Structure 1
Amino acid sequence: MLPAPPTSAASAAVGARAAVAGAFLAQGLLFISLTTRLPALKDKWDIGEAALSGLLLMMVLLAGVGSVLAESLAKRIPSGTVLRGGLVVIALGAALVAAAPSFAGFVAGLAVYGVGLGLVDAASNMQAVAVERVYARTILPSFHGAWTLGGLIGAGITLAATGLYPVVAAAVIPLIVAFGPFLPRATDPTAHGPAVEVLWRPIVLVGLGMVLFYMVDTAATAWGPTYLDTTFATPERLVALATFPYLLATLLMRLGGDALVTRFGPVAVLRAGGVLAAFALVVVVAAPAWQIAVVGFTLLGLGVAVIAPLSYSAAARIAGGPEVPEELRQARVDVVIGRFNQFNYVGALLGAVLTGLVGADSLRLGFAVPMVLILAIWPLAKHFAPVNEPDVVER
């Protein structure tokens, strides 16, 4: 049972928290259901790593378009409405990817799914930071943990059932979640007072940390199964073990993330995680057998798990400065989170595309890219430290 927030909006917030968690879960389930079947899709359409990298690039770029669209829509309509639409789009796109009768249909499905991915990524985090504000305590890790739980379910389905049609069945889940009671917006963000804009420099510095997370996360989830499939003599049904233990470790760390951050602070947690993640990728790159690579992916999940939720929380805190009227805060933070979400796709480009291109001949080389770059979280971690709200300026 979800605990009630300490406000008069307790009932609505509890329902919204459950609905938003459901959206994260549906997104994770569908995304991992697709990425763990990349080897099967690669074989079905007879495409190589370079061509697959190009298709992933297209999908990531279109996800960026979807995020920009979410930002634009959030200026006029509630983020809950944007999220409902995005959930419908990812369901349609994923079903088309799995069941397309032609290569053109497969590419079209990836395109539709990409746009929906951006819409849901941005709008679900808009809703998450709004619910966190009502609860007046950190709960973003639990929302991202719901995404991870969905991913675990998707990876488990891949382990239990071969073929592509389970993805079509999984696409029903977002359609159900779309009917959830998302948090409403009280006012029109353009209807009151002068425009208020936060300073972007601290948000960009926090965003660079999120770039690092999605670089590593997308490399692991998009290329991990293919790495096991092409580098080792891994049984076909077990290639999802690149993703399943990674997600399980991520889930466990996110469930305990609030307590760790409270005890040691975000700077120490992020720096320790960065060192662990780099070591984990050394294990992946140097693994002599697929079982050792799976250990590396598991450690990787522990290392990077809390970077993304702490990034969104920090960005929302900075965006909703003390001079932003409370009745306008959610709308303004929605718009900032929509733009901030673009860091997600910069990281995804590095993780999915650069890993694939550098690793076109050997994915060992591809995973060496995030192995080195993740260490940049060490100097960036200081920008996640809790500080007084930054000044907010009028245009």
Structure 2
Amino acid sequence: MPGMQISRARVATAAAFLSQGMVLLSLTTRLPDFQDRWHLSDVALSLVLLMMILLAGAGSVVAERLAKRRDSALLLRTGLLVIAVSVPVLCVAPSAGVYVAGMAGYGLGLGVVDASTNMQAVAIEHRYGRPILPSFHGAWTLGGVLGATLTFGMSHLPLEAAAVVGVVPLLVSFAPFLPRDHGPTELSLEVAVPWRPILLVGLAMVLFYMVDTAVQTWGPLFLDHEFTTPERYVSLAAIAYLLASGAVRLAGDGLVARFGVVPVLRVGALIGAAALAVVVFSPGWQVAVAGFALLGAGVAVVAPLSFSAAAKIAGGPESEGGFEPAVRQARVDAVIARFNQFNYVGALLGSVMTGLVGAGSLRVGFAVPMVLVLGIVPLAAAFVPKAAASLGSR
């Protein structure tokens, strides 16, 4: 029965990742439609997105605070239900104010789901005793592809039809997620969260999300501005990136088990830098699309391996048996929620810095992450923490 429970929880958590990616990409690919409906300028739309990212960060902080006393399964269900309500609100909003309120609710729910899906994933990975986080993030990418495809297939329908995607997180909220063994209540109230030991891993995740957000936000515009790309093909920048990323993430468990975390990260960073060079110096849009696909393959496993490394630091040295299960899970849940903040730092850098630096030419904008992504090479060693490393620091 325990084996059946963990298998069901793995499928449920993968479904939560998939629904998260599906909803996010179905909304971001509809942004031009929302902009037209509410007559939002580029600046106004940027402010709405900034609000959403900041509230997602706030949602992740809320998850961190509650993780010390509440089950991550409960947090995940709550976040999914908030998204399930917010998406129809922002899609069928009768006014711009209601649309903004819906985006605010979605941002909060997104932050809670971001944190709690990874809490569930690292808990399940610990039970399995081998790397499985890349496949969870692969499910997110698959969901993103499905969301973008759904938008393409429903492009002829009224914007209100996009509200149907809210049914997905609603259904997933009833899935059998992994419950936490809380143990004595007082243990879960005394959670010492290590912080300094995970900063290097967090910095690598910032670099990844800087690249990831830059591609999804500015990749289609790069094809549109730098080349005479047919309008129907500009979305290929993000789609090629997501497809390649998803394929590598689904294979990532085996790659890490065979070659090890550090070599996979270092080779991936080098591939990512080379891929961005292909994009920056591409003579035509077809070559740029190939560069974005190669980039997705190169950096795909950085985020899942970051969460896995943070969980190992939080869980205590394996050589000493770690902490009691209840204490370990409370520590890990709190760390993962806080660690998730690096996601939003990278997202802000990718969406803002790339656009500002590339105001004259997006080739210059993408040259910045081309160089910075190489920072993952020296940071890769931090993903395999030494048993005696500063666990007491925080």
Question: Does TM, scored on the shorter chain, surpass 0.5?
Answer: yes
Encode CA deviations 1:167-200: one digit per residue, 9 max, x unaligned.
3121210010000111111215742399353542
Shift of 1:72: 1.2
| Match in the other structure for 1:306 | 301
Are residues 1:93 and 2:86 paired?
yes
Distance 1:282 1:342, change over 3 A: same
Tell me the residue number matched to 2:289: 294
**What does residue 269 of structure 2 align with?**
274
> Using the alignment, how far apart are the partners of 2:355 and 2:184 within structure 1?
42
Question: Structure 1 residues 35, 314: closer, same or farther in 2, change over 3 A?
Answer: same
1:74-93 to structure 2, matched below 5 A, reads 74-93=67-86
Separation (CA, whole Å) in 1 of partners of 2:170 and 2:378: 41
1:338-381 deviation line (CA, Å, top 9, x unaligned): 11111111111111222233334443333233222211111111
> Which residue of the partner structure matches residue 262 of structure 1?
257
Q: Which moved more, 1:254-263 or 1:77-86?
A: 254-263
C-alpha change, 1:296 and 1:37, in structure 2 (3 Å) is farther
Structure 2 letter corresponding to 1:378 = V
2:12 pairs with 1:13: no
Which amino acid in the other structure matches residue 341 of structure 2?
A: Q
Structure 2, gaps ≥5 residues long: none
* Cα drift, residue 333 of structure 1: 0.8
Decide whether the 8 Å contact of 2:10 with 2:121 is kept in 1: yes
Residue 236 of structure 1, CA deviation: 3.9
- Whether the aligned pair in 2 keeps the contact of 1:57 and 1:352 (CA below 8 Å) is no
The answer to whether 1:27 aligns with 2:26 is: no
What's 2:354 paired with? 355
CA–CA separation in structure 2 for the residues paired with 1:92 and 1:238: 32
Which TM-score applies when normalising by structure 1?
A: 0.91
Distance in 2, matches of 1:196 and 1:127, equals 18
SS in 1 for 2:367: helix
SS at match of 2:69: coil
Structure 2 CA distance for partners of 1:370 and 1:165, relative to 1, 3 Å: farther
Work out which of the residue numbers 240, 245, 251 in structure 1 matches 2:235: 240
Determine the C-alpha separation between the residues in 1 that align with 2:188 and 2:171.
38
1:166: how far off? Answer: 4.7
CA contact (8 A) 1:80 1:182 kept: yes
Mapping 1:89-128, distance limit 5 Å? 89-128=82-121
Deviation at 1:331, TM superposition (A): 1.9
1:40-55 matched pairs, under 5 angstroms: 40-55=33-48
Say whether the 8 Å CA contact 2:208–2:302 is kept in structure 1. yes
Q: Distance in 2 between matches of 1:193 and 1:31?
A: 33
Residue in 2 aligned with 1:376? Answer: 375
Number of the residue aligned with 2:207: 212
Residues 231-240 or 24-33, more deviating: 231-240
Per the TM alignment, residue 110 of structure 1 is displaced from its structure 2 partner at its CA by 1.9
Alignment of 1:99-248 (within 5 A): 99-162=92-155, 164-187=159-182, 190-192=185-187, 195=190, 197=192, 199-248=194-243
Q: Which segment drifts farther, 20-29 or 323-332?
A: 323-332
State the SS of the aligned residue for 1:21: helix
RMSD between superposed Cα atoms in Å: 2.3
Whole-Å separation in 2 of the counterparts to 1:335 and 1:108: 28
CA pair 125-173 structure 1, distance change in 2 beyond 3 A: same
Q: Which residue identity does 1:96 align to in structure 2?
A: V
Deviation per CA, 1:110-137: give whole Å up to 9, x if none. Answer: 2111111111000000011111111111
Describe the SS at the equivalent of 1:184: coil
User: How many residue pairs are counted as aligned between the two chains?
Assistant: 388
Deviations 1:285-336 (A, max 9, x none): 3334332221121111011100001000100011000442123221221111
User: What does residue 339 of structure 1 align with?
Assistant: 338
Q: Decide whether aligned partners of structure 1 residues 279 and 12 sit closer, same or farther in structure 2, where only a CA change above 3 A counts.
A: same
Return the alpha-carbon distance in structure 2 between the equivalents of residues 31 and 266 of structure 1.
28
Task: State the alpha-carbon separation in 2 of the partners of residues 221 and 148 from structure 1.
Answer: 12
Whether contact under 8 Å (1:265, 1:385) holds in the other structure is no
Equivalent pair of 1:94/1:171 in contact (CA under 8 Å):
yes
AA aligned opposite 1:294: V
Aligned to 1:253: 248
Q: Deviations over 1:244-266 (max 9, x none)?
A: 11111011111221222222222
Q: Alignment partner of 2:176: what SS?
A: coil
Q: Aligned partners of 2:312 and 2:247: how far apart in 1?
A: 25
CA separation of 1:194 and 1:104: change in aligned 2, threshold 3 A: closer
Which stretch shows the higher mean deviation, 380-389 or 119-128? 380-389
2:248 partner SS? helix
CA contact 1:196–1:324 (8 Å) conserved in 2: no
Deviations 1:67-113 (A, max 9, x none): 00111121221011111111122233333333333322222222111
User: How far apart are residue 391 of structure 1 and its match?
Assistant: 5.6
